[in-house]
Amino acid sequence: MNLVSAYFGELFRAARDGWNRFWFRPADPATLGVIRILAGAMLFYTHLVWSLDLEAFFGARGWISPEVLATQPGQSCAWSYFRWIHSPTLLWTVHWAALAVLALLTLGLFSRVMAVLAFLITVSYANRVPLAWFGLDDINALLAMYLAVGPCGGAYSLDRLVARWRTGHRPPIKLRVDANLAIRLIQVHMCIVYLFAGTGKMMGMTWWNGSATWLSVANYEYQSMDMTWLAGWPLLGAFLTHVTLWWETTYCVLVWPRLLRPLVLAMAVPIHLGIALFLGMPTFGLVMLIGNVAFISPWLVRRILDRGGSEQGRGGGRAEHSAARPAQTAL
């Protein structure tokens, strides 16, 4: 009996300690800073294109009026500040203000506040035009939400430049619990996205018989490059179909082991670039790659972007960065 209780006691402590290390270990915000730049730029671009016909989509007399929208299922709890905008002047004013917020988020000025506002903006636009809500909007909202959780301006931002100007020296890297928490939330959410994408594909016979890739590239609605030559290579099409299905369904498991992670992330590049280049969805393909950045360790980001840690300068900052590296190898 003592052995059994000792076993379960040790099991509980190991699970508790592992849970705390996974979610609440302080981390370098370098990876979060890179995601802020990339996701902020994507948010800015995808909302800027609404300017081409803003009033038709979001105006009180647009294609879907607020009155008609209110009759649609689920709209009673779909929040959007466009419900209180009735004049074209106010609509354009709010739109340009939203673009300014997204630009400031990308640059990293008042980053935490801008991240919260960016999430509210993204949700408002998406809920006002639900028929134009696609996977791109889901990932945009996902990234904006989690940028608000962590110190997204803690690296590669104007906030750090302002802090340097005020103090006269580079601010040291601060390892933060919320930086790790934000990255972990993105990682877990990306695993859920891929798992549901893969299992959803399993419900379609074309993914089992290997014809899904050919049917996708042969659809002129999505075709951005002529890929009809693939009809002469049915085995290649079947191979690409099954590799994509296997990768998506196993992503949530294989991306966590340190030695397998580079291979899993490397496969994300041709798969999502293929979507971007050949299926007419460049923004969706790119935003999925931005989500995968969450699995790149902060020490590797520093090594690439800071040329071995030059941002840290001398003294305490460099020592703090060096101490952070071993702790981040599990990211």
Which is nearest to 306 in space by CA: 156, 97, 106, 94? 156
SS (H, E, C) 261-272: HHHHHHHHHHHH
Q: What does the block give as tokens for 46?
A: 């995808």
State percent of the chain over pLDDT 90: 68
- pLDDT tens-digit series, residues 260-298: 999 999 999 999 999 888 888 999 999 999 999 999 999
CB-CB contact of 50 with 94 (8 Å): no
Continuous H helices in the chain:
2-24, 30-48, 54-58, 66-70, 88-107, 111-128, 135-147, 158-167, 177-201, 205-209, 212-217, 234-254, 261-278, 282-292, 298-305, 316-328
pLDDT in tens, the chain (331 residues): 788 889 999 999 999 999 999 999 999 999 999 999 999 999 999 999 999 999 999 998 888 888 788 777 777 678 899 989 989 999 999 999 999 999 999 999 999 999 999 999 999 999 998 888 889 999 999 999 999 999 999 999 999 999 999 988 888 889 999 999 999 999 999 999 999 999 999 998 999 999 998 888 888 777 777 888 888 888 999 999 999 999 999 999 999 999 999 999 999 999 999 988 888 899 999 999 999 999 999 999 999 998 755 444 333 334 344 444 444 444 4
List the domain boundaries for the chain: 26-152+175-325
What's the confidence (pLDDT) of residue 75? 72
What's the confidence (pLDDT) of residue 312? 44
User: Using CB atoms within 10 A of its CB, is residue 224 exposed (0-12), middle (13-18) or buried (19+)?
Assistant: middle
